[in-house]
Amino acid sequence: MKKIISYIMLIALFASSCSKTYDKMEMNPNNPESVPASLVLNGVEVSLAPGAWGLQQRWNQFSCCNYNYYGNQEYNWGGASLSYGTLKNVVKMEAEALKSGATAVNPYSAIGKFVRAYLFYQMTMTVGDLPMTEALKGAENLKPKYNTQKEVFVQVNKWLEEANADFASLITKADNSLLGDFYYNNDLRKWQKLVNTFRLRVLITLSKKDTDADLNVKATFAKIIGGASTYPIFSSMNDNFQFVYVNPFNKYPSNPDNYGFDATRYNTSSTFLNLLTANKDPRTFVVAEPAGSKLKAGLLPSDYAAFVGASPAADLADMSSKAGTNNGAAFVPGEYSFNGRKRYYSTYLAENTFIVGYPEMCFNMAEAINRGWVTGDAEQWYKNGINASHGFYGIKEGANTFFYLKAGGKVTEGGDYTPYNVNFSFATFYAQPAVKYAGNNAMGLEQIIKQKYVAFFQNSGSEAYFNYRRTGFPAFSLGGPGTGNSAGANKIPVRFKYPASESSNNAANYKDAINSQFGGNDDINAKIWVIK
């Protein structure tokens, strides 16, 4: 009997040993089970960069593609690309911070709250209602219910309130445990400013809901502006939340490498360029080049009339035939302005891309004052926003030198450009009736939104479009085939559809969300709650 028991114990011991050996063999030494929170943060931060010169900027009507092989200006939107993958990494980052011994309130958890707020804001502005409360739970809940867009905005504001308080607490404790932050070099004070500045964007976005008691938009905006020590905000361009390009690792999207492919395939959009030229704004000379046909007709490159934008609504074949070429031996002067090749194609680091920028904040302040939410000098904030944007493009008082690529010229680091000089006076520029702030009235509000739009050029993702959708300013081009969508050429959609994965993997909840919002049709032309 003892021999039998011993034999059974031996078998059990052998089985246990085999199991442990199998478990060890099953582990992949090249696939770490745990990573530092700082490393996860680095990946999360990369995913926040909005980029420039992509489809979003065409939908913002900043530039036009004139070559159908590269694309078009159409708003035939399908399913949105949502950010739940990045949000899962945020959850992982927070867990790794706790695993390493961090307290419940730590820099990674505070940044995590901001990123959650930022991404859920972006997603709800794109599609409408979203899975939120029951989302990000993995196998625990594979079919999360949708929260209404109002509930999402309430939670976004809650996260931002908590993030501000968390950063304040960490700053008081002189916590220096944050690593891996390439946006602010681990500076918690800068992060706290970002949280509150971004919150001003969220509140301005809710302008059509400013009487909703649950959102408390006006009082919250006033609380932030009236409590500078508790709710610090950006004070200059040095505070910008921006993606800085580094050669050769992260080159600016337009650069000498792709000049031969792209530089004559894109024209500056009339929606954007007409605003600049109508106001005799010197940013014209930085972001665009004079149209070749205008120079051939005798206009000077310093003449605003020499700059002509292509309408996003134009038929693509017609736009292509009029675009012309402005380099190489066979010079054909085009009718439209190309994008400023000196700035965007002669180096690899053209300009930083704002995610949340100081100029936008200035215009948000001016808009809140214009609307009567808070007291203050709307005109000064309006001026601050314009000056900050001018400074970003290197515009200064007095003589300014600009460049355009001469016929047959080649883009090089040194540049094969023709220089020209323009004298600029902000006082003269500002004295123009269309520019000088008209006061806290409807005209003044339109001026603020238009100048904010100009300052959004090639940055801040879809914010230029979101502001147009909310206010109607500036008037987007939509009267032709170029901007067509599924409802026809004369309408710009107001949302993306949900990803196809929602209708297949979360069908019941998806159907409920579509029924409650849009009468059962996942329609890109149906208004979402925030703009009703």
pLDDT of res. 325: 67
E strands present in 290-414: 353-356, 398-405
Cα-Cα-Cα-Cα dihedral sign, residues 504, 505, 509, 514: negative
pLDDT of res. 387: 98
In 238-324, alpha helices (H): 259-262, 270-278, 283-287, 292-296, 316-323
How far is Cα 95 from Cα 85, in angstroms, rounded to an integer? 16
Q: Is residue 284 over pLDDT 60?
A: yes
Cβ contact 299:289 at 8 Å: no
pLDDT of res. 33: 67
Cβ contact 294:337 at 8 Å: no
What average pLDDT does range 360-389 have in this prediction? 98
User: Hey, is 381 helix, strand or coil?
Assistant: helix
How far is Cα 63 from Cα 255, in angstroms, rounded to an integer? 16
Cα-Cα-Cα-Cα dihedral sign, residues 242, 529, 485, 464: negative
CA distances from 239 to 54, 234, 337, 405 (A): 25, 6, 33, 34
User: Hey, is 371 helix, strand or coil?
Assistant: coil
Write the DSSP symbol of residue 492.
-
Two structure tokens written together for 366: 């001016």
Amino acid at 350: A
* Neighbouring-strand partners of residue 310: 269
Q: Is residue 438 over pLDDT 60?
A: yes
Alpha-carbon 211 to chain mean position:
27
Which residues, 6+ apart, have CB-to-CB distance to 67 below 8 Å? Answer: 265, 320
Range of lowest pLDDT (96-110, 222-236, 448-462, 474-488):
474-488
Which residues, 6+ apart, have CB-to-CB distance to 472 below 8 Å? Answer: none
Cβ contact 504:94 at 8 Å: no
pLDDT of res. 139: 85
Predicted confidence (pLDDT) per residue in 317-369, tens digit: 999 999 976 444 445 679 999 999 999 999 999 999 999 999 999 999 999 99
Which residues, 6+ apart, have CB-to-CB distance to 320 below 8 Å? Answer: 66, 67, 68
Cβ contact 348:413 at 8 Å: no
Cβ contact 64:269 at 8 Å: yes
With cut-offs at 50, 70 and 90, classify the pLDDT of residue 30. Answer: low
The pTM score is: 0.93
pLDDT of res. 412: 66
Amino acid at 306: A
With cut-offs at 50, 70 and 90, classify the pLDDT of residue 289. Answer: very high
Predicted confidence (pLDDT) per residue in 248-276, tens digit: 999 999 999 998 888 889 999 999 999 99
First to last CA, the chain: 83
Cβ contact 73:58 at 8 Å: yes
Q: What residue has token string 């800068």?
A: 190
pLDDT of res. 479: 78
How far is Cα 142 from Cα 146, in angstroms, rounded to an integer? 12
Burial of 12 (0-12, 13-18, 19+ CB in 10 A): exposed
Cβ contact 390:371 at 8 Å: no
Beta-carbon neighbour count of residue 315 at 10 Å? 13
How far is Cα 486 from Cα 74, in angstroms, rounded to an integer? 10
User: Hey, is 507 helix, strand or coil?
Assistant: helix
Cβ contact 383:405 at 8 Å: no
- Average pLDDT for the chain: 92
Residue 424 — φ and ψ, nearest 5°?
Answer: -130, 135
Cβ contact 401:340 at 8 Å: no
Predicted confidence (pLDDT) per residue in 194-249, tens digit: 999 999 999 999 999 999 999 999 999 999 999 999 999 999 999 999 999 999 99
pLDDT of res. 329: 43
Q: Over the Cα atoms of the chain, what is R_g?
A: 27
How far is Cα 170 from Cα 192, in angstroms, rounded to an integer? 10
pLDDT of res. 32: 58
Quick one: which of 77, 75, 73 has its CA closest to 62?
73
Cβ contact 432:280 at 8 Å: yes
Crossing angle of helices 149-172/188-205, nearest 10°? 160
With cut-offs at 50, 70 and 90, classify the pLDDT of residue 31. Answer: low
Two structure tokens written together for 158: 């809650």
Cβ contact 493:524 at 8 Å: yes
pLDDT of res. 324: 76
